[in-house]
Amino acid sequence: MIKIDFDKTKPDFVNDNFKWYIDKHFQNYIENKQAENLPRLKGLGCFIVKSSEVEDYVLIDNKQNIIDAYPYTFEGYGQTEAKINIIKIHKHFEEYEKINA
């Protein structure tokens, strides 16, 4: 887990009192196929969201709906990675069922 220095890093966008930073590690993980043959995901983004009260990992879809949010901690890092893997595994089985139907 790489911690962002919020004082020195410019947010990718700001919404009200929330600053949104693209999490480059997880975004790369989402967009690339894994060694375990887990598929790439389209239309999913991972951000670190910061306000005066909140620091979270937030997964959103391409319509900016929040899929899930976890604390911006080591535990939240693991939870975010697990959620992405769950989505990838689900997509893998959907594709497998389409091919073998």
Smallest CA-to-CA distance from 50 within 11, 23, 79, 80 is with: 11
User: In this structure, is residue 7 part of a structural domain?
Assistant: no
Confidence of residue 33 (pLDDT cuts 50, 70, 90): confident
User: In this structure, is residue 2 part of a structural domain?
Assistant: no
- pLDDT score of 93: 86
23 burial type by CB count under 10 A (0-12 exposed, 13-18 middle, 19+ buried): buried
Number of domains observed in the structure of the chain: 1
User: In this structure, is residue 6 part of a structural domain?
Assistant: no
User: In this structure, is residue 5 part of a structural domain?
Assistant: no
5-14, 55-64, 65-74, 88-97: which range is least confident on average?
A: 88-97
| Token digits of residue 20 | 């949104």
User: In this structure, is residue 91 part of a structural domain?
Assistant: yes
User: In this structure, is residue 84 part of a structural domain?
Assistant: yes
User: In this structure, is residue 58 part of a structural domain?
Assistant: yes
Q: Residues with Cβ < 8 Å from 26, sequence gap 6 or more?
A: 46, 57, 80, 81, 84
pTM, to two decimals: 0.89
- pLDDT score of 94: 84
Structural domain of 69? 13-99
Place of tokens 């879809």: 61
| Token digits of residue 77 | 């890092």
User: In this structure, is residue 81 part of a structural domain?
Assistant: yes
Instruction: Name the percent of the chain lying above pLDDT 90.
Output: 78
36-40, 42-46, 54-58, 63-67: which range is least confident on average?
A: 36-40
Instruction: Please indicate whether residue 93 or residue 23 has the higher confidence score (pLDDT).
Output: 23
